Amino acid sequence: MDTITQGLLGAACGQALYAKALGRRAVLWGAVGGLIPDLDMAVIPLLGPLAEFRYHRSATHSLAFGPLVGVVLGYLAYRLAGRRHGTAGAGAVSAWIGLYVVSLVTHPLLDLFTTYGTQLLWPLSHRRFALDAVAILDPFYSILLVAALWMGHAKRERPALGSRSAWAALGLSTAYLFYGLLLNQQAEGLAHRQLAREGSVGAQLRSYPTLLQPWLRRIVVREPAPGEVGVGFLSLLRPGNIGWQRFKPAQGPLAAALRETPEGRLFEWFAMGETAARQTETATGTLVEIEDLRYGYGERPDEGLWGIRGRFDGERRPLGGVERFTRQPRGVARALGLLWRSTFGP
């Protein structure tokens, strides 16, 4: 999820659980705790253009990070702020520690419901976990948390009401995440049934959420023969036949050579295998691009939001190193309009 929403989640947890013990500081420092895991992005870009793929959502997003670091941060907060405001004692220190542990642990748990992939078991395992329930930007989820925090601020003379509103928002927002998971399962079921009607046998497919709302799903299907990939969008608000856009990814030795580079293997791991290669002949040789098909604007089926590229000369020798690229839409308003019409209709 986006960093702002993570801060809102930490603040709502603080308001629900620790406002009675710590007052309004529970909201502020809960928000800080919710933001901390994403501070890795302040350092990761310094490690190289592909470092985000390897390191983001790893150490700071492990399930072990919250209990270990939260105890330290909570005790430091107790020493620095707790005693200054007269909240010393065993109850206060446990509240500070609990506040940081909860706000740090809920961050990767929320990220788990997105598509990006979160290394929950780091350092024991580098496996990426992703439930594909909601997009990394979902205002419906965030608004629930904002409403609870606004209620807590507007009715601050009634802390019990603020706590109840936060609990309600946490319950509704958690239910919303599982609703997104249910929608994804429904989308995959509808897509499988359509493929069966079309006579497709043995196809593999995955469904992914799209930006800003939960009802439009991006479906990626891989046909065993003739080796085509199909990309289509399905609105769960008005289900109908998916209009597949099919293409045949590049499978030659140059695409294989790019995948076998350290950068190529890293990108395949990051994208959890949901990639496709494309070759383009240029004046100096061949350009090979490998794209992450989990995300896309819907303008071309073989284009994702990001990928890697390599260049080869006429003798199939690499020209320079492997590069990362980010693909911009051919007009933000046009891309958002396409998603809106695909979801809600004309």
Taking phi over 0 as left and psi of -120 to 50 as alpha, with beta for the rest, 46 belongs to alpha
pLDDT of residue 92: 87
Q: Are 87 and 25 in contact (CB under 8 A)?
A: no
Q: Are 284 and 313 in contact (CB under 8 A)?
A: yes
Residue 206 has pLDDT above 70, yes or no: yes
Local confidence band at 83 (pLDDT 50, 70, 90 cut-offs)? low
Residue 315 has pLDDT above 90, yes or no: no
**What is the rounded distance in angstroms from the CA atom of residue 237 to the CA atom of residue 278?**
33
Local confidence band at 86 (pLDDT 50, 70, 90 cut-offs)? low
| Percent of the chain whose pLDDT exceeds 70 | 97
| Widest Cα–Cα separation across the chain | 75
What is the CB neighbour count within 10 angstroms for residue 67? 14
- In 113-242, alpha helices (H): 139-154, 159-197
pTM, rounded to two decimals: 0.92
pLDDT in tens, 232-244: 999 999 999 999 9
Mean pLDDT of the chain: 92
What is the CB neighbour count within 10 angstroms for residue 59? 15
- State which H helix or E strand residue 280 sits in: strand 275-282
**What is the rounded distance in angstroms from the CA atom of residue 114 to the CA atom of residue 109?**
10
Sign of the Cα pseudo-torsion (122, 38, 103, 94, in order): positive
Q: Which of 159-163, 164-168, 304-308 comes out lowest in average pLDDT? A: 159-163
Residue 42 CB partners (closer than 8 Å, separation 6+): none
**What is the rounded distance in angstroms from the CA atom of residue 104 to the CA atom of residue 26?**
14
Mean pLDDT (whole number) for 289-317:
91
The encoded tokens of residue 10 equal 């930490």
Local confidence band at 84 (pLDDT 50, 70, 90 cut-offs)? low
Residue 258 has pLDDT above 70, yes or no: yes
Residue 176 has pLDDT above 80, yes or no: yes
DSSP string, 156-170: TT-HHHHHHHHHHHH
Angle of helix 65-77 relative to helix 90-112, nearest 10 degrees? 140
pLDDT in tens, 102-148: 999 999 999 999 999 999 999 999 999 999 999 999 999 999 999 99
4 HSE (CA, 13 A, CB side): 7
Local confidence band at 191 (pLDDT 50, 70, 90 cut-offs)? very high
Q: Hey, is 324 helix, strand or coil?
A: strand
Q: Hey, is 68 helix, strand or coil?
A: helix
pLDDT in tens, 9-20: 999 999 999 999
pLDDT in tens, 25-60: 999 999 999 999 999 999 999 999 999 999 999 999
